[in-house]
Structure 1
């Protein structure tokens, strides 16, 4: 049975992704900053009939918490097949380039970029023990510099000084990581689930949580012929869903 860790998975897209992967027969570690809340979520899922899901406490901004989660999964499974870096924050809004406080920008980067890097680096040891390791970094269309420079893009006017740039940086990190792991059976990609109605954005997005999670699952459970170092977006209307960087 393949194992997967999803950070920030006790609600919204992360939770739905956990459900869909559980239904496909994977053992899912549902990452939550608060273990009590995570276990409450697991109780609800169990009552709904979901199996092979377990809460694990992990605060991506706390290296000790990340290491403790790694040690737990190593003790229980011996390896990790899939890492989905889903944890993220929007930050203080509005985020203008002129007035957003440096502290507020740093806080967003601490979770969205440095947190993802911390988790990735810590869990690489376990991922390298898998026959088909996968790393999916959950990004946003707002991380695309090409689209942000195109006045015809439907979200062209949605600009911010912290969230989007943090995802652009995560995209750049993913390219480097995919390159370094290119001779191993890793597939390392960034996945934009699309503009989705969630608690994250006060349910303003047009997409559904089910569609967003399904897109993540599609581009995570891939075979050996799948691309690596790619940027997939659920908002790109073509068969491959490949977004410009």
Structure 2
């Protein structure tokens, strides 16, 4: 399969890229710049040049996303899986009274508008007839049943992403494109912190299983897809 992953230079995105490569898939690793010299992603790109292709794009810049999609189209590329993983978490320790609206807007730009831009411009590159998947990396914090007083910008951006995911599913199911919103767990990443109970490398296989069609949302607890099956919204 051909898999495009945003935010693939670190954390869960990098873990997903590694897992997909280990299974023989072609990975388009999307990030804002070039991989840092000596980074794990640059090492993967050097060792597997035929199957790991770094693509530069900024999910907050529509012109950048459109240009990246155009480059792939000109190359005759077709995608089987689009994983919208890039996200930020700002103002974690802020109370409601301290909420920085500029940080809120920045969070929405990355976590919600970013996946919308990606779907808008990369949808024409996705294969249909049941062989393509859009996977939006979301969070249980974006569900009504798991709502809590805190992480306002992050939680609300993920709640909105869950709704957009439901809209995409309604739009694309008849075209043979599967659409999932998934909660990957609390992970030890730059975002999740070292206190998190799970490692991204440990949880990535379940997500690639889903992308490959090995599992459905009824088979694994990490899914938020069809939120009513796991938590009410």
CA distance in 2, matches of 1:186, 1:169: 21
1:162-241 aligned at under 5 Å gives the runs 162-222=153-213, 226=216, 233-234=221-222
1:69-218 aligned at under 5 Å gives the runs 69-128=68-127, 132-148=131-147, 159-218=150-209
Contact 2:142 2:156 in 1 (8 A): yes
Contact 1:4 1:28 in 2 (8 A): yes
Contact 2:27 2:51 in 1 (8 A): yes
TM-score, normalised via structure 1 length:
0.83
Partner of residue 230, structure 2: 243
Give CA-to-partner distance per residue, 1:9-50, whole Å, 9 cap, x none. 001110010011111121100011112439955431156668
TM-score, normalised via structure 2 length:
0.87
Q: CA deviation at 1:212?
A: 2.2
Q: Unaligned regions of 5+ residues in structure 2, if any?
A: none
Q: CA deviation at 1:124?
A: 0.7
Between 18-27 and 35-44, report the one with greater CA deviation. 35-44
Partner of residue 19, structure 1: 18
Contact 1:31 1:38 in 2 (8 A): no
CA distance in 1, matches of 2:38, 2:174: 38
Q: CA deviation at 1:128?
A: 4.5
CA distance in 1, matches of 2:168, 2:99: 30
Q: CA deviation at 1:75?
A: 2.4
Contact 1:84 1:136 in 2 (8 A): yes
Please give the root-mean-square deviation of Cα atoms over the aligned residues, in Å: 2.6
Q: CA deviation at 1:119?
A: 0.7
CA distance in 2, matches of 1:24, 1:175: 29
CA distance in 2, matches of 1:233, 1:198: 20
Kindly tell me the number of residue pairs found equivalent between the two proteins: 227
Question: Structure 1 residues 211, 168: closer, same or farther in 2, change over 3 A?
Answer: same
Partner of residue 151, structure 1: none
